[in-house]
Structure 1
Amino acid sequence: MASDIPIIDAHVHLWPESEISTLAWCEPENPLAKQQSIQEYKAASASSPPKGFIFIETDRKNDLDAGVKDGSGWEGPLMEVSWLKRIASGQPKPGEGHSKEDASLCAAYILWAPLPSGALAMERYIDLVKKEAGESWSKVRGFRYLLQDKPSGTMLQDHFIESLKLLGRKGLVFELGVDQHRRGRAQLEEVVEMIDRAHEGVPEDEKVIFIVNHMCKPDLEVYNTHTSTSFIAWRTAMFTLSKSSRTYMKLSGGFSEMPDSLKQRSPEEIFEALMPWLTIIIAAFGAERIMFASDWPICTVGVGDGAWEKWKKIVERLCSMASFEDEQKKMIWGGTALKAYGIDS
């Protein structure tokens, strides 16, 4: 990779130690149950310091029903907005692991939102986010409601589709997190239908942009991709999803879906094992709609402190094997993220 190509890491999670108890998934015994702030992120990526990163919401505890009624169920996510505002404005509290100088690293942030509650609730919630974000509101480029562990049909409810259309009208993206590895083909089929319904009858410039996390979490433990029904279903879904020009894909999340034995191997060996999936992503989306993303610090689980650099080397290998020109590499390492999220470079 040319050293003059700036990196925008398109998927980073951060939290201060003081707010770990608000994370819905983080029990005390979790290896990530410690401060994961910019100081730690900079140490992890020190070999090739990124120009910036996209912060992705961390699934804070919430209560949709309470939030719709009186807003009290949204306290956790709004606390995260306040945390991001302190980062983006360079005003940390003591011990939070970031400084005034780190403010420029936060290129944009993607927040939780109550999409299943419908457009009216979304309007109210977005107003609260604007108030809490203050001057940093310009860095809010979209929202995520993590679908990977939600009941079947959640993303196809009328309220959810209404919320997606609202985001499109407001020029905000939807961050799409699903899990083919654990939820199977059915969840991918729902995604295809959801995107079709969200775009149906909508003017092109108001169609919501979908940014897909972690290659839809394919099962990277598959040995024979030629006969695997799981791989074939995933491959079909990738080409179907790519038909929409307003859908982008993140090259991320691979470590979480591969067997533990593979995580410990060299970047070159991991790349060879992932080739069937990576070549499909390139064929379906092209360099102009895929983006480098580390999924830090989730990527470190089972891999260790060198996970950020190891994933970067895998993506570098992909760019080399695909014989990408410099302009294509610039898109993967940052240009696609700037374009998809609507960030001024």
Structure 2
Amino acid sequence: MASHPLIIDTHIHLWRTKDIPTLAWETPENPLFGTYDLPRYLKCISSAPSTYSGFVFVETDRKFSDPQDPSEDRERWQHVLEEYRFVLGLSKEPEFKGLVRGIVPWAPVHLGRGAMERYQKLLDAIDEEIYGEEKHGLLVGFRYLIQDKPEGTTSLPTFLEGLEYIRDTGRTFDVGVDCNRHTLWQIEEAVPVLKQVKGLKIVLNHLSKPPLGREPEGGIARWKELMTELAETQSVVKLSGGFSEIPPTLAKEGNEFPEQKMISMVLDYARPLFQIFGASRIIFGSDWPVCGVGYEKVMGEQAGAWPEWFKISSAVIKQLREEGGVKGEPEDWDGVWGKNAIGAYNLKPQ
């Protein structure tokens, strides 16, 4: 049996018990209330093929506030800075050697170039604290979630400045929108701005969070138009996040997860995205541990979410490859699992 292609999980979140009060969304009622650290993640992916080769950490929406003066930066951004310190520190621990392939922290993109430059200096200080003079190359991009922000956020002149700063550093911008709960307005607002920043490397999270099992408000045709516009930029799409968009009607079949129904729903959106972007511009991600929330609603427990999403992603890739109609060489299809991400995020080889 041929070995599986290289695997890099391009979207995971981690936090320790002491970090819980700093998470903007965390409450005792939240299904993810608890500790989701690296040992727990590694236990969940124990069934992964031997070609698994680490992950990209993406910021977890820590609490922050906007400084009124640069002297307030460190205090207002203390939780996001501590998150970066935490994950960068993991990369130095011998037992986790090589697992942290990239870090995508929060950044004050909405505040413009000046704020981004000041923030970068604070990150540089953490780099020196943990790595000294060594250049680790793990800071590969930035994310500022759009999905929970008011209309007009991405249209601010300062937001454009922030994106231009990211472009100038050669790093990526992870786009987090929600086409399920918020219709299409977020991506409609963001795409023209993203297109203005020529050369910006863009990673669209979670297939744009489409409403699986139905059309988005605004229509699938309009959604495809927006994805086609986005494809005119230097962008890739994460095959991730599907379990968060499961419709409430999806139920387990006997004691099993309804794989075929889930595969069909994911294909409704993955198929046009593969056709629009091509296989070389799709990358795999699990969205752990968030993937466990939707899975738990169907199965009654979070355990098993990572391997189940891996199986569904495998089936989706296999079917689209067999159907034809998607641009891509064999190495591009294999690269969905890991090698495409190396280029998208400029990850250091191992």
Corresponding residue number in structure 2 for 1:119: 113
Corresponding residue number in structure 2 for 1:139: 138
Match of 1:88 among 91, 101, 105: 91
In the superposition, the TM-score normalised over structure 2's length comes to 0.88
Corresponding residue number in structure 2 for 1:94: none
Is 2:266 the counterpart of 1:274? yes
What does residue range 1-345 of structure 1 map to in structure 2 within 5 Å?
A: 2-48=2-48, 50-66=52-68, 68-71=70-73, 72-90=75-93, 100-134=94-128, 135=131, 138-199=137-198, 207-222=199-214, 225=215, 229-244=218-233, 246-262=234-250, 264=252, 265-303=257-295, 304-323=302-321, 326-345=330-349
* Cα contact 1:268–1:317 (8 A) shared by 2: no
Q: Deviations over 1:294-335 (max 9, x none)?
A: 000000003121111111111111221123664133210001
Q: Deviations over 1:254-273 (max 9, x none)?
A: 11112134264432331023
Q: 1:81 Cα shift?
A: 1.2
Q: Which amino acid aligns with 1:267?
A: E
Aligned residue for 1:140, secondary structure, equals: coil
* Cα contact 1:247–1:289 (8 A) shared by 2: yes
Q: Output the CA distance in 1 between the equivalents of 2:32 and 2:69.
A: 28
Q: 1:6 Cα shift?
A: 1.6
* Cα contact 1:218–1:234 (8 A) shared by 2: no
* Cα contact 1:267–1:314 (8 A) shared by 2: yes
* Cα contact 1:263–1:302 (8 A) shared by 2: no
Q: Which amino acid aligns with 1:320?
A: K
Would the alpha carbon gap of residues 317 and 4 (structure 1) be closer, same or farther in structure 2, given more than 3 Å must change? closer
Would the alpha carbon gap of residues 171 and 18 (structure 1) be closer, same or farther in structure 2, given more than 3 Å must change? same
Q: 1:235 Cα shift?
A: 1.8
Q: Output the CA distance in 2 between the equivalents of 1:153 and 1:198.
A: 17
Q: 1:339 Cα shift?
A: 0.4
* Cα contact 1:165–1:198 (8 A) shared by 2: yes
Aligned residue for 2:57, secondary structure, equals: strand
* Cα contact 1:110–1:140 (8 A) shared by 2: yes
Aligned residue for 1:187, secondary structure, equals: helix
Q: Output the CA distance in 1 between the equivalents of 2:172 and 2:69.
A: 22
Which structure 1 residue ranges, 5 or more long, are not aligned? 91-99, 200-206
Would the alpha carbon gap of residues 275 and 308 (structure 1) be closer, same or farther in structure 2, given more than 3 Å must change? same
- The structure with the greater share of residues assigned to helix is 1
In the superposition, the TM-score normalised over structure 1's length comes to 0.89
* Cα contact 1:9–1:54 (8 A) shared by 2: yes
Aligned residue for 1:167, secondary structure, equals: helix
Q: 1:228 Cα shift?
A: 7.0
Q: Which amino acid aligns with 1:340?
A: A
Q: Output the CA distance in 2 between the equivalents of 1:233 and 1:2.
A: 41
Paired residue total: 325
Q: CA RMSD in A?
A: 1.9
* Cα contact 2:16–2:35 (8 A) shared by 1: yes
